[in-house]
Structure 1
Amino acid sequence: MRIARWEHRGAVGEGFVVDDDVVRFPDELSVLDVLRMGLAELPWISDAAAAAAGSEPARRIPIADVRLLPPVVPPSVRDFVAFEEHVEGVVRSVSGGQGVDAEWYEFPTFYFTNPHSLIATDEAVRPPQTERLDFELEVAAVIGGVAGSDGANLEPDDAGEHIFGYTIFNDWSARDLQAREMKVRLGPCKGKDFATTLGPWIVTADEFADRLDDEGFLPIGMEVLVNGERIGTDLLSNMGWPFAELVAYASRNSRVMPGDVLGSGTAGNGGCLGELWGRAGSLTPPPLVEGDEVVMRVEGIGEIRNVVGAAVPAPRIGPARTRSRARPGAPVSASSAPSSTAAPSTAP
């Protein structure tokens, strides 16, 4: 099944994509509601949606008449870096390093990105002022509820049950900002958090059950095109870890919740320009500029496409001030702090 969110005549709809139509969930359920209920509840939700649309035709709309939105409003977005080939190439262009650090092979590392900056397919991306705008071809797993589980400290054998479905994920990147930030040993932050494309919909995990190999990897094709030219292509199964292990790692000493989005990290073999720049030793192909169109396609899911819009100027923040590093001359007395139980002032 395909799950989507859309805008139609100024109102947001949430439901199924059926053939060439969108059909609203019954009882005004949201995508997040359905994710919390989990895959096991989908059959009756689908039947109820069809019955409601039969008696209220306005609940079923041609998809050509709606504007698709990001298919979920996620509580959090984690983005992994699970493709060795990508790491090998992009390290050269971002930091000037060589090879893949030994630590990459130990655990499936991720960072948290901004759930408030999601954009949809066919929406213009508005980057910061950057000289090295890049895309990242990824697939994301979307977490659903599982009866009897709180999503914490999952074993890899159980974590796959928490994957409700998959969607395409484009982690837009300003590589020059990213390179500067990561010299401070944190980030990426402003080099990444301005936009992430998610869409066009969520395809439920059961649609891929017979495609998983013996180790849990999903060998489906991925490709990215810029202005109609194919730049990169890969198999999702070239990840260093299957998605179930990414979910398990995310839940370690923590919790994954329905609606959480977990990106695979960027595919290799041209899954981003940064990888190619690192291998070529030059900005070839060139960074994205205003007017460029980026299209991503993933087998069994669909495609997303975005055009690069004008850059957004940012308010200026100056450099750090030089400080004296002065210290208190005597121990700080806690008794000098205001008491939280003090009576309110009666002064005028």
Structure 2
Amino acid sequence: MRFATYLHDGTTTAGVVSEDGVHALTTTVLDLVRAGLPAALAAGEEALEGAAVALDEVRLLPPLQAPSVRDFVAFEEHVEGVRAGMGEAGAIAPEWYEAPTFYFTNPYALIGAHDDVAVPPGCELFDFECEVAVVIGRDGASLSPEQARDHVFGYTVLNDWSARDLQRREMKVGLGPAKGKDSASTLGPWLVTADELEPFRDEDGFLALDMRVSVNGTEIGQDLLSNMGWPFEHLVSYASRGTWVRAGDVLGSGTCGNGGCLAELWGRRGADAPPPLAVGDVVEMTVEGIGTLRNRVVAGLDLPPVAPARPRPRARTRG
């Protein structure tokens, strides 16, 4: 089943997507997730008996208001290319192989599947990242991978928009990514329940979903989700290690390889080709079994430059 949040006639509503359009629900998608998959499926079946609004008559919003968003870096090929682009040519750091690393990104920056995305202030190297995200279905702590599978509600497509020049600067400090990543993340077009994607699971336990991304109609990248270094159950397990994951939390796979972002290609080719995203560019991502995101790049705010740090004062007492 596919759950969406949409704007229609000025009203935000949750719904179930069918071939006829979207059928309204009487609750939010986050509340459905918190109620658990069996209850959500029952509510969805009931909603499907009602009238549908055509998808081209609504604005799709992020499927749910996520309490938190973690983003992993689970594709080896992506890491290799991006490291080269940041002047870190050579083998991937051995620490990458030891555990699935993630960072927390901005849950307030989520945008809908077809919304315009603004270039972040001061950014000249704007990029996309083609990912799949898992949504947690119930609370859990220190879960084993086997337990974690039962805590997965469903999946959605994630585009982690990236200001590469800002990211490169801040990561030299030894923290981040932070400001280079928090301007926008597209989530959608809807939330597909986990049962729908089980037929795509391969013999190693990975979801072998085809992932593609294009810019202005030209395909830039293609990969399989099954090329992740760890399956989602391991990502959820690691995120819950010694702490909690809560229903509605979003965990991104990290960017797929083979052109899942421009920075990977820049690193491999030693040049910014294809060029960074520009105003007017349209980025389209399609993940098999889930759906398609399509966002147009628009001009962002023209803000004053950030003030540099002052020289370190030497006084140890007040004057």
Shared fold, TM over 0.5:
yes
State the 1:303 CA deviation. Answer: 0.5
2:245 corresponds to which residue? 256
1:203-250 alpha-carbon deviations (Å, 9 max, x no partner): 110001122123320011000001110000000000000000000000
Report the AA paired with residue 85 of structure 1: E
State the 1:131 CA deviation. Answer: 1.7
Alignment of 1:331-342 (within 5 A): none
Report the AA paired with residue 8 of structure 1: H
CA radius of gyration, larger in: 1
- Structure 1 position 107 matched with structure 2 position 90: no
State the 1:67 CA deviation. Answer: 0.7
Aligned-partner Cα distance in 2 for 1:48–1:300: 23
1:184 corresponds to which residue? 173
Aligned-partner Cα distance in 2 for 1:291–1:238: 32
State the 1:99 CA deviation. Answer: 2.3
- Structure 1 position 169 matched with structure 2 position 158: yes
Which of 53, 75, 78 is residue 67 of structure 2 equivalent to?
A: 75
Aligned-partner Cα distance in 1 for 2:174–2:285: 31
- Structure 1 position 133 matched with structure 2 position 106: no
Aligned-partner Cα distance in 1 for 2:243–2:304: 35
Q: Secondary structure at the match of 1:194?
A: coil
State the 1:64 CA deviation. Answer: 1.7
Aligned-partner Cα distance in 2 for 1:12–1:320: 43
1:299 corresponds to which residue? 288
- Structure 1 position 30 matched with structure 2 position 23: no
1:21 corresponds to which residue? 21
Task: Name stretches of at least 5 consecutive residues in structure 1 with no aligned partner.
Answer: 330-348
Aligned-partner Cα distance in 2 for 1:211–1:228: 27
Contact 2:198–2:207 (Cα < 8 Å) also in 1 = no
Aligned-partner Cα distance in 2 for 1:83–1:203: 22
Task: Name stretches of at least 5 consecutive residues in structure 2 with no aligned partner.
Answer: none
2:7 corresponds to which residue? 7
Aligned-partner Cα distance in 1 for 2:62–2:172: 32
Q: Secondary structure at the match of 1:142?
A: strand
Aligned residues: 317
Which of 236, 254, 259 is residue 265 of structure 1 equivalent to?
A: 254
Aligned-partner Cα distance in 1 for 2:174–2:269: 26
Q: Secondary structure at the match of 1:209?
A: helix
Which of 187, 208, 218 is residue 207 of structure 2 equivalent to?
A: 218
Report the AA paired with residue 133 of structure 1: F
Report the AA paired with residue 144 of structure 1: G
State the 1:46 CA deviation. Answer: 2.2
2:224 corresponds to which residue? 235
Report the AA paired with residue 162 of structure 1: H
1:118 corresponds to which residue? 110
- Structure 1 position 207 matched with structure 2 position 196: yes
Report the AA paired with residue 304 of structure 1: L
Relative to the length of structure 2, the TM-score reads 0.96
Q: Secondary structure at the match of 2:141?
A: coil
State the 1:315 CA deviation. Answer: 4.1
Q: Secondary structure at the match of 1:308?
A: strand
State the 1:76 CA deviation. Answer: 0.4
1:43 corresponds to which residue? 41
Alignment of 1:266-285 (within 5 A): 266-285=255-274
State the 1:65 CA deviation. Answer: 1.1
Aligned-partner Cα distance in 2 for 1:198–1:285: 24
Report the AA paired with residue 11 of structure 1: T
1:64 corresponds to which residue? 56
Aligned-partner Cα distance in 2 for 1:322–1:43: 60
Contact 2:135–2:155 (Cα < 8 Å) also in 1 = yes
State the 1:62 CA deviation. Answer: 1.7
Contact 1:223–1:233 (Cα < 8 Å) also in 2 = yes
Aligned-partner Cα distance in 2 for 1:253–1:327: 40
Aligned-partner Cα distance in 2 for 1:43–1:192: 34
Which of 49, 58, 78 is residue 86 of structure 1 equivalent to?
A: 78
State the 1:322 CA deviation. Answer: 1.7
State the 1:121 CA deviation. Answer: 1.6
1:238-279 alpha-carbon deviations (Å, 9 max, x no partner): 000000000000001111111111000000000000000000
Q: Secondary structure at the match of 1:112?
A: strand
Contact 1:91–1:99 (Cα < 8 Å) also in 2 = no
State the 1:98 CA deviation. Answer: 2.4
Aligned-partner Cα distance in 1 for 2:45–2:220: 42
- Structure 1 position 327 matched with structure 2 position 316: yes
Aligned-partner Cα distance in 1 for 2:65–2:110: 8
Change beyond 3 A, Cα 1:95–1:181: farther
State the 1:328 CA deviation. Answer: 5.2
More strand by share: 2
Report the AA paired with residue 29 of structure 1: T
Identity of aligned residues (%): 57
